[in-house]
Structure formats: C-alpha cells, structure tokens
Amino acid sequence: MLKGQCLCGAVQYQYSAEIETSILCFCQHCRLAQGVLFGWNSPIEQSKFQLLLGEGCLREYFHTENKARVFCSQCGSPIYSYRTDLPNVLRLRLGTVT
C-alpha cells in the first residue's frame, strides 16, 4: 500500500496496489503544469485509489476537452490527472508519494 499527500498536507491519499509502471514525460504540457524538467507519473486503477483527506481542497483544470489535472487548491501540488475517455485510470503524480 502506498500513501501520499500534497505539500501542505491538506490532501492525503492511499493506493492499495503496487505501482507497475512509471513514466518520465518531457513534453511541454507536463513541464509547464508541474514546473519541473519532466513529469513523473504512473497510470493507476482509480478503484484502488482512496482519498483520505481533503476532497474539498481538490480542484480540476481541464487542459483539453477530455483531460483534467487535479491539484490541491491550498498549496497547488498536482495530485493526479485523468481522461474522460479512459474510465478507471488516473495518472498519479509520483512526487506526492510519501
């Protein structure tokens, strides 16, 4: 089981499976959205992701018509993204794993 949180701790989660794949993405969108040289993400099963704290702090930004980036409204930490055309798949921001 993995646990994670945003920078300020207002959003906390757990994931009840192992990370099988991690992706380093150097595209401009990932760099701009996360303010770093690359995004470090993992596709995970939404059904195994549980928000423990901070549901009211989460905000979504739809970068495209079907892709939302979800972040903490208190500190701005990116938590995950999802696509409306890929049900049950989240892209977890691995920098939030504690």
Identify the CATH number of the domain defined by range 2-96. Answer: 2.170.150.70
| pTM for this prediction | 0.92
Of the listed ranges 3-12, 21-30, 79-88, the least confidently predicted one is 21-30
**Model confidence pLDDT, tens digit, residues 30-72:** 888 888 889 899 999 999 999 999 999 999 999 899 999 999 9
pLDDT for 3: 98
Provide the 3-class DSSP secondary structure of residue 3.
Answer: strand
